[in-house]
Structure 1
């Protein structure tokens, strides 16, 4: 009985020509995958949501800065608090919109580039 009969991937030369699996026994195997296309709407949604959270954090800092300015003796208390309060609403909306548009545009550009030169190759270990 040959040692290759117990190898589910065949001989090393056969394994390299077949599936893109490689690895050593006992360590798990790795598989190469290729990202050929990214859905622009999907990328826009996730980046829009992430940027909206970032805008909420930045808006919180603006609110804190305006509150510190009011406590420190700012001359126009109403304007300072209104600016800080609006920033906590306006900045997440603005950042979310910019993230959506930027993410969708970046995915579109990736798709154009990947169609010309190929996609991004990933190696995943299982």
Structure 2
């Protein structure tokens, strides 16, 4: 089921976080994974930090965005770096239908199912650009 929140806007602002505008540091401290190339550096909104995601999480989200041809935003505690071991994943994919949602959900990171029920993912349909977000735009292959 696609979720939508009251007050979400459709206008996505491109704001780069000064501390994470360097692609070499984009993979995060705990997983050195490959850094994104200059053409697919994620957009980091206010209050968000790319350092909160591991290199493998970044790669999975970017690959999913490339596959469906739509931007995918990480929001909530995963975007701010406040996620704990039982935190779920919150994503925004605008213009998504249930078929695409089911197709992409298994490609995206999810919390350990042993810590809760189900895949522990929420997929919303609209981004609030004033709140923390990290947006992965699709890269044409």
Q: What's the TM-score bracket when you normalise by the shorter of the two chains?
A: under 0.3
Q: TM-score, normalised by structure 2?
A: 0.19
Between structures 1 and 2, the one with greater helix share:
1
TM, length-normalised to structure 1: 0.21
